[in-house]
Chain A
Amino acid sequence: MQQANPSQPTRVIARHPGAHLAWIGKGFLLLLAVLAIIVLVRSFFDNPQLFIQIVISGLQLGFVYALIALGYTMVYGIVRLINFAHGDVFMVGAFVSYFAVSYFNLHLWPTVVFPGIPVGVAVVIGSITVILLSMIVCAMMAAVIERVAYRPLRTAPRITALITAIGVSFFLEYFGALNFVFTARFIPYQRPFSVVTWYIKDGIHLVVAGQAAPIGSITFSNIAIIIMVASILMQVALQFLVRRTKTGKAMRATAFDKQTAQLMGINADQVISITFAIGAALAGMGGVLYAIAYPSINTLMGILPGLKAFVAAVLGGIGSIPGAFVGALIMGQAESLTAGYISTPMRDAIAFSILIIVLLVRPTGIFGEPEGEKA
């Protein structure tokens, strides 16, 4: 009889038993990808207008996801925490702008303060004010959440902080659902500016209010443009912050090695707070833009966009800022194409299938590098 000897563990050199299964899986996925591409190319040639229309709505969605995904990836990069409350910060951003617009008419302040101001300028300044207010409130809220819920757990096992993040998420959702807070109802959202739609058919024309665009044309709205421009601007600003400023460099140093960063005189806690605040400000902006694009808000509205932005961050390689951006654009397209060519309810299934596939095939994502000795 053989006795197990605890002091001399036997080395298992045999290959991972499921290795050949993984190859079959990868082959299957490749086949699926080829099939998807064939279907997409065929649909493009069948009806190019429809295809482009779907891509535009995918871009609009993708750029909103990008704003949320940046926060996930930045926070993960610096404290290795998936901040599941991030989607709810996005929701709060939408609600702050709702109260600012519907209760306080904040978007009209330029016409009140400067009565002679041109209408166009007033609308632009007013809308930017509303977005900025949401960003500031979200940033402050995230800094408080970090201080109260996450900082005391900085040295605790990672799973503890993760569970806490889920707790914070539920707290925001269901505290928000109370009647004296946001209520649990779907609330119609009043936009700070009106929608203008154009159609492309022999040049760009304005769609007259109350009339449909001609059949076979491609339409796009000022909302889509604003979302894309705002999201790209934020991405550029963030790159500048992280690459060029002292704070940004301190963020990267702290993300890499917190203790050594402290030896440089960097206040790591402060840097972490700033990271949470910046991520939340971006999510807050995303919340406002999302509510403007899909104007019905609810305290649970952050769950799905939050989860999808999380998938986008994982797809791009969590911890990587350009990765989050690219991942979000892919997610937007995947969702929009699925809704357009398969069925609307399928889009969520596709989004989470992407998560599962990424985790199976390339858990580090597109831009992610395998974690070295530093964990």
Chain B
Amino acid sequence: MLLEVENLNVYYGAIHALQGISFHVAEGEIVTLIGANGAGKSTTLRTISGLLRSRGGSIRFRDQEIGTVTPEQIVRLGISQVPEGRKIFAPLTVQENLEMGAYTRRDPSEIQATMQRVFASFPRLKERMNQLGGTLSGGEQQMLAMGRGLMSRPSLLLLDEPSMGLSPILTEEIFRIIREINSQGTSILLVEQNALMALSVAHRAYVLETGNIVVHGTAREVSENPQVKNAYLGIAS
């Protein structure tokens, strides 16, 4: 198993944000966590990448416990997070942003090769290579954030709300690229509020509600669940 999360408990001060959730991501899968604002989706991702510490439960990556590993070591193990709100380094150029994504890697020619692959997926980034990250549009910033996340050649990519604030056309484009990245062998854990889009690309899905997983199954099973249809897909059952 690539990623296995078991009985994860996370607190913000006194707030019990994640109340013992368990899920897993297998090699080659796209798994999505859907849920409303404040359900704990981002908290889950931030805990996996080491920015938050759990208070109980385990996170195993390729059978190695990573609950106490520092964020920078977790990147080296092969997990890369594309944070919510893109978090581009505004004063760095597009190219420098991508170089930062490859910070953990040494061989310049291999880094260059990865960068060319990122440019193949996101041709817009190549055009804007020497522009400052802060001057890009929202959609371009999302592309840069994803490209930057891929620069470490992760085996697991954590995507936090990639469609946030994007037009429907750009959202389509981003999800097309998510599928493409996955088909090239990268497993993806996708957090989304846009449940419809997320379920359309994912293999399996988990529904989070106030820190608990309430529904899970294959994407099809979850999208046919009456409760989910009603609350997240806007279809009355």
Contacts and interface: CB of A to CB of B under 8 A. Distances in A.
B87 interface: yes
Interface in A250-288: 250, 252-253, 256-257, 259-268
Given A246-B103, A252-B89, A252-B91, A262 B51 contact: yes
A266 B51 contact: no
Contacts of A264: 75, 100-101, 103-104, 148, 152
Contacts of A261: 89, 100
Interface residues of B, number: 24
Interface in B94-110: 96, 99-101, 103-104
A105 to B, nearest CB: 43
A158 interface: no
Max chain B Cβ within 10 angstroms of own Cβ: one of A259, A260, A263:
A263
B90 interface: yes
B71 A249 contact: no
B92 A249 contact: yes
Max chain A Cβ within 10 angstroms of own Cβ: one of B80, B91, B100, B101:
B100
A250 B49 CA distance: 19
Interface string A181-225: 000000000000000000000000000000000000000000000
Nearest to A260: B87
A253 B100 contact: yes
A265 B96 contact: no
Max chain A Cβ within 10 angstroms of own Cβ: one of B80, B89, B90, B92:
B89
B103 A259 contact: no
Q: What 8 pairs across the A-B complex have the smallest Cβ distances?
A: A265-B75, A265-B104, A262-B71, A260-B87, A265-B72, A264-B100, A265-B103, A264-B103
A265 B89 contact: no
Contacts of B152: 264-265
Interface of B: 49-51, 70-72, 75-76, 80-81, 83, 87, 89-92, 96, 99-101, 103-104, 148, 152
Q: Identify whether the interface residues of B are mostly helix, strand, loop, or mixed.
A: loop
A265 B92 contact: no
Contacts of A256: 89-92
Given A263-B75, A265-B71, A265-B75, 12 more contacts: A250-B103, A253-B100, A256-B89, A259-B83, A259-B87, A262-B50, A262-B71, A264-B75, A264-B101, A264-B103, A264-B152, A266-B72
Interface of A: 246, 249-250, 252-253, 256-257, 259-268, 374
B89 A253 contact: yes
A250 B81 CA distance: 17
Nearest to A261: B100
Nearest to B46: A259
A154 B172 CA distance: 41
Nearest to B106: A246
Contact of B100 (A250, A268, A374): A250
Given A246-B99, A250-B103, A264-B148, A259 B51 contact: yes
Max chain A Cβ within 10 angstroms of own Cβ: one of B50, B71, B80, B96:
B71
B44 to A, nearest CB: 15
B141 to A, nearest CB: 12
B30 to A, nearest CB: 20
B87 A267 contact: no
Contacts of A374: 90
Contacts of B83: 259-260, 263
A318 to B, nearest CB: 15
Contacts of B51: 259, 262-263
Contacts of A265: 71-72, 75-76, 103-104, 152
B103 to A, nearest CB: 5
A30 B50 CA distance: 53
A267 B75 CA distance: 11
B118 to A, nearest CB: 14
Contacts of B99: 246, 249
Nearest to B151: A264
Contacts of A263: 49, 51, 71, 75, 80-81, 83, 87
Given A249-B96, A259-B51, A260-B83, A266 B103 contact: yes
Nearest to A248: B96
B100 A266 contact: yes
Contacts of A246: 99, 103
Nearest to B105: A265
Contacts of A260: 83, 87, 89
A252 B133 CA distance: 13
Contacts of A267: 70, 72
Contacts of A252: 89, 91-92, 96
A129 to B, nearest CB: 33
Contacts of B103: 246, 250, 264-266
B48 to A, nearest CB: 11
Nearest to A372: B90
